[in-house]
Structure 1
Amino acid sequence: MKCFHFTSGERREDEDVVVSKVSRVSWARSFSVASSSLDARRSDLDSDSNCYSSRDLSESVGFFDLLSQRRTNDLRVFSFSELKSATRGFNRGLLIGEGGFGCVYRGVVKVPDDHDSDSKMDVAIKQLNRHGFQGHKEWINEVNFLGVVKHPNLVKLVGYCAEDDERGIQRLLVYELMRNKSLEDHLLAKVLPVPLPWMTRLKVAQDAARGLAYLHEEMDFQLIFRDFKASNVLLDEDFNAKLSDFGLARLGPPEGLGHVSTSVVGTVGYAAPEYVHTGRLTAKSDVWSFGVVMYELITGRRAVERNLPRGEQKLLEWVKPFVSDSKKFHLILDPRLEGQYCIKSAQKLSALANKCIAKQPKSRPKMSEVVEMLGNIIDEISSQDEDTPEPASEIEEAKEEATGETEAESNKQGNNNWKKVFDIREMVNLRNRSIGKLDWRNWTPGLVRTS
């Protein structure tokens, strides 16, 4: 990934053009902050290729105007004093995230309610740095896109604040509070001692896939998320997953075109290789990123981890030899799961991840297909959990019969205290065949004491 360099939020020279274009959009209706996660680093292609196409420059304002016409009146306009009070003066004790463009605080705001005029809501409040235009384009994206898209697996934008005073331009966004932080916090951070259970990981993956499928396939225009990673998947109190940070989201190609030519932005380790090398963006770029995160769910490792030995730093390269050998596959599973997983479902999740990171974008599945395949994996585990053993009375009867036969055999052969018992499960199966019951599976004969 040598073509990337971290910008840490610094404005590039070609972004001046973007700012001059988008500044025509009213400050009062469109602002966006950059990442709220602890890892809010942005990456740009360090080359002299055509970074911004005419679609980026000339059509962005017109498209945002279209979105503003379609936007519902759900977004609230907050005053700066109201949000300052909600965060106790932006108290550092309420800080829940910090990125290259600003900070995120926990707060409480009053929201209109039909039953209670003083109803309060816990929220997350992003505050962009007051000086300069850093993050301005991302801020605009957030309000315009999240002001239109509505889905259970996309974080909800409650409102925004835009005020101009002697201290600078105050630009803030107010989101629903996701109490369980990000997938990265649970999966990759060292501070949380309790790992995500295997089934929870699968359901989080399915929720995130539903969010991407909505953006790609279920609206009358397509959005490409462009920065899908574990830190941008937030979890509510019930561990339902929602996509956050639409600062880099991009309008998909128009009908008849296969891709959008745009600047290469994102996070090292998650960006699809064809996008990195050519700047050609498609929805299949998000599918690649999703495949990377699925391997993070399986292994508990980051896409790129510089603190590991050289051969293990890049996740996708490290897993290759293990994935191809079923006897070694268990070695890549997150050790924090402590064996509490279904190995077959993990292998199927790995196979799905491999489809998502296929070299040719056309070979990758659509996100709606990924949702369906994840659902099949989850349903298979659930059905196995629901399988109940045969009634206890039948088991006891089978044991008695088996014990009787074993004792008789033991008497014939002398004082042999330990005998291998006739397979109890097979005995039950023989009886069940005669009465039409389901055979038991996966039974291993055991040893019992016969005297």
Structure 2
Amino acid sequence: MHLFLFLPLLSLLLVPATSDSFKSYTCDSMSIFSSTTTGNYTANSTYQSNLNTLLSDLKANSTGTGFAAGKLGTAPNEVRGLILCRGDLNASSCSSCLSQIFTDILSSCPLYKTAIMWYDNCYVQFSNLDFLSLPDNIPLKLFVKKKNLTVDQTRFFQDVSQLMTQMASVAISNSTKYFATGEVKNFSTELSSIYALLQCTTNMPKSQCQSCLQSLVNDLPGYSEGKDGAWLVGIYCNIRYDTIPFYNGAAMLQIDSASLSPSLSPSSPPGVNDGKKKKNTAAILAITISLVVAILSSTTFCICLHKKRQRQREKLISEMINPGHNKENIDSFLIGLTTLRAATLNFNESNRLGEGGFGAVYKGILPSGEEVAVKRLSQCSSQGLGELRNELVLVAKLKHKNLVRVVGVCLEDQEKLLVYEFLSNRSLDTFLFDKEKRQELDWTRRRSIINGVARGLQYLHEDSQLKIIHRDLKASNILLDADMNPKISDFGLARLFPVDQTINVTRRIVGTYGYMAPEYAMHGRYSVKSDVFSFGVLLLEVITGKQNGGSYDAEMGEDLLSSTWDHWTSGTITDIIDPMIDGPVNEIIQYIHIGLLCVQEDLKDRPRMSDVAVMLDSNTISLQAPSKPAFYLRRGGGVSGYGSLNNMVPVSQNEVTISEFKPR
């Protein structure tokens, strides 16, 4: 929003309040948008009737949210209005404030067609002009307290700015009220805390709300006049700070002052400490002259070092994404650390979505309003950069509706961050292995999930320009969008595979037990058929609602693959179907049949993913009979599989991922 497009006219409204109680009103204020005044209405006229009815309707419509806007009547008696209660008020307090302000505005601005009134807890605005369609946050009103700040004002406004920037992300994550409160703790011995509040009307997109708030935050120091409290309020958004508590309840966001970085903050407001600066001019000048050579040398060195690091970083990103990408494409792919810190509330625990093998994942909201998932790779992980390369090289090049989309990357200050699209339903395991949530997965959804994962793997193995083996396909790496469509995620363990090569060997076994193919788990031999095995395990998990964790009860023989095979051979296969599924039995049994084919001991007996996709889509195709699956646990004890468990290739424990997204 271009807040100050009409700055000369706005100066009429930017009059500081003369008391700590923020109350004010303006009559006919909307004339700033017109060459003439909006005029008056006559008593008992149609306009007055429409106005009274509209205010009553707005109050009724604001219940629960504290906000309402609308219009009533037809020209020339059409009236528009907007009301907003502070977000921390309950319904009763909001209603009480509105009742009082309606009475006061009609008595303070009698018969005016346009008026605005601001109270601490609510404000109201009405006019015969169409101010609701204006894109700018005007008219704008500034209230400041009488008392001057006695602390370091530069640092004070740095902390306020950073706090409010992070609060903006909190505010737009609230679907009912775009509202947030915050507190900077431990500012100094003289001032223990700084309190802040910000809010938007909810009739705008999240991105516009964040832009509106950020514009006020950026301009606040210049308007606050060095006071210890101020409120800057416009039509669509407002911000406020104070050195004493002024909102109800505990702050929604609390940040310790020591954790805030000066490099993220704006410059100090104009005119701050001018007197002190004049007194110390001579001393400062002397020191400056004596150090100027050293400063210039240091500056030159830092600039050169910064440029060198920037070139190295761009080269690294370029190599990761595509050697042919130009600088413009690289820049569009990079996201600044400051932006991601603000988006995730400085990686606040309340935004943590889960923990992966190489770091945590946080929910964030970018300045554009887009919700993202930010993977923060562990700084102490020696293989972190290698995994980052894998993710970038692979995901940035892959485009498929069943693969998670990468949004950007950040490599700053030792941080390694990957930014993905945020999928609101998180991972499949949070539904599949939860007794309550599993009820949401009917057969139609489960079949759609199975087929979608199959198409995604087929793309990776056969249809993309690269031949890719995922190596860690499991329920927690299948994310679900708002419509429960599946998307394969977590390519940190994926390997590029030469097109003319069918199998490879590694001494570092990575992945998750229970999903690993026997030839991979025991001998380090991996191929596309390794992913097929993992898919088969996943398919059986989706149908049974049981997890194949790689462990089993030797007495009961309850591991998933063995249990499935025993029921298959005994003719009781329907007993393992999740009782919450209500679908065609023949179709479900066909899917189990396909799953058993995918988990065969010998990789040559497993189908390719393109064959699997055909099998899943057809109910007439003839399927070959499966043999016992890998790692079959005989009822009498013992494991049937690829060789002895004692002959397994040593597993790198650091690379066995547990990328589980658990609900808070």
Scaled by the length of structure 1, the TM-score of the pair is 0.63
Q: How does 1:230-249 map onto structure 2 within 5 Å?
A: 230-249=475-494
User: Do 1:253 and 1:282's aligned partners in 2 also have CA atoms closer than 8 Å?
Assistant: no
The letter of the residue matching 2:612 is V
User: Do 2:358 and 2:381's aligned partners in 1 also have CA atoms closer than 8 Å?
Assistant: no
2:584 equivalent in structure 1:
342
Aligned to 1:289, the other structure's residue is in SS state helix
The letter of the residue matching 1:94 is N
1:106 equivalent in structure 2:
363
1:212 equivalent in structure 2:
457
User: Do 1:322 and 1:329's aligned partners in 2 also have CA atoms closer than 8 Å?
Assistant: yes
Identity among equivalent positions (%) equals 38
For residues 264 and 208 of structure 1, the distance between their equivalents in structure 2, rounded to whole angstroms, comes to 23
Cα separation, partners in 2 of 1:260 and 1:71, compared to 1, 3 Å: farther
The letter of the residue matching 2:510 is V
The letter of the residue matching 2:359 is G
Query: Which of 603, 608, 611 is residue 361 of structure 1 equivalent to?
Result: 603
Aligned to 2:389, the other structure's residue is in SS state helix
Q: How does 1:311-322 map onto structure 2 within 5 Å?
A: 311-322=556-567
The letter of the residue matching 1:252 is F
For residues 354 and 307 of structure 1, the distance between their equivalents in structure 2, rounded to whole angstroms, comes to 18
Shift of 1:82: 0.6
1:270 equivalent in structure 2:
515
Deviations 1:381-404 (CA, angstroms, capped at 9, x unpaired): xxxxxxxxxxxxxxxxxxxxxxxx
1:138 aligns with 2:387: yes
Deviations 1:340-399 (CA, angstroms, capped at 9, x unpaired): 1221111100111111112221221111121122122599xxxxxxxxxxxxxxxxxxxx
1:183 equivalent in structure 2:
428
1:201 aligns with 2:436: no
1:332 aligns with 2:581: no
2:371 equivalent in structure 1:
122
Aligned to 2:441, the other structure's residue is in SS state coil
Aligned to 2:420, the other structure's residue is in SS state strand
Shift of 1:224: 0.6
Aligned to 2:418, the other structure's residue is in SS state strand
1:252 aligns with 2:490: no
Cα separation, partners in 2 of 1:66 and 1:97, compared to 1, 3 Å: closer
For residues 466 and 486 of structure 2, the distance between their equivalents in structure 1, rounded to whole angstroms, comes to 23
Cα separation, partners in 2 of 1:205 and 1:217, compared to 1, 3 Å: same
Query: Which of 296, 301, 313 is residue 541 of structure 2 equivalent to?
Result: 296
1:351 equivalent in structure 2:
593
Cα separation, partners in 2 of 1:85 and 1:343, compared to 1, 3 Å: same
Equivalent pairs counted in the alignment come to: 307
2:226 equivalent in structure 1:
none
Cα separation, partners in 2 of 1:191 and 1:247, compared to 1, 3 Å: farther
Shift of 1:249: 0.4
User: Do 2:552 and 2:559's aligned partners in 1 also have CA atoms closer than 8 Å?
Assistant: no
1:69 aligns with 2:323: yes
Q: How does 1:388-399 map onto structure 2 within 5 Å?
A: none
Cα separation, partners in 2 of 1:343 and 1:266, compared to 1, 3 Å: same
Aligned to 2:437, the other structure's residue is in SS state coil
Deviations 1:157-202 (CA, angstroms, capped at 9, x unpaired): 00011102xxxx1111110001111111111134636341111111
The letter of the residue matching 1:109 is L
1:224 equivalent in structure 2:
469
Cα separation, partners in 2 of 1:230 and 1:193, compared to 1, 3 Å: closer
Q: Give ranges in structure 2 of 5+ residues lacking alignment.
A: 1-310, 622-664
| Structure number with larger C-alpha Rg | 2
Shift of 1:277: 2.2
User: Do 2:320 and 2:393's aligned partners in 1 also have CA atoms closer than 8 Å?
Assistant: no
Aligned to 1:178, the other structure's residue is in SS state coil
The letter of the residue matching 2:488 is L
Q: Give ranges in structure 1 of 5+ residues lacking alignment.
A: 1-24, 32-63, 111-118, 380-451
Cα separation, partners in 2 of 1:187 and 1:69, compared to 1, 3 Å: same
1:93 aligns with 2:335: no
User: Do 2:514 and 2:551's aligned partners in 1 also have CA atoms closer than 8 Å?
Assistant: no
2:262 equivalent in structure 1:
none
User: Do 1:159 and 1:175's aligned partners in 2 also have CA atoms closer than 8 Å?
Assistant: yes
2:338 equivalent in structure 1:
81
User: Do 1:203 and 1:378's aligned partners in 2 also have CA atoms closer than 8 Å?
Assistant: no
For residues 345 and 200 of structure 1, the distance between their equivalents in structure 2, rounded to whole angstroms, comes to 14
Which structure has more relative contact order (CA 8 Å, sep 6+)? It is 1
The letter of the residue matching 1:330 is T
Shift of 1:324: 2.0
The letter of the residue matching 2:322 is S
Q: CA RMSD in A?
A: 2.6
The letter of the residue matching 1:101 is F
1:159 aligns with 2:429: no
The letter of the residue matching 2:569 is S
User: Do 1:96 and 1:104's aligned partners in 2 also have CA atoms closer than 8 Å?
Assistant: yes
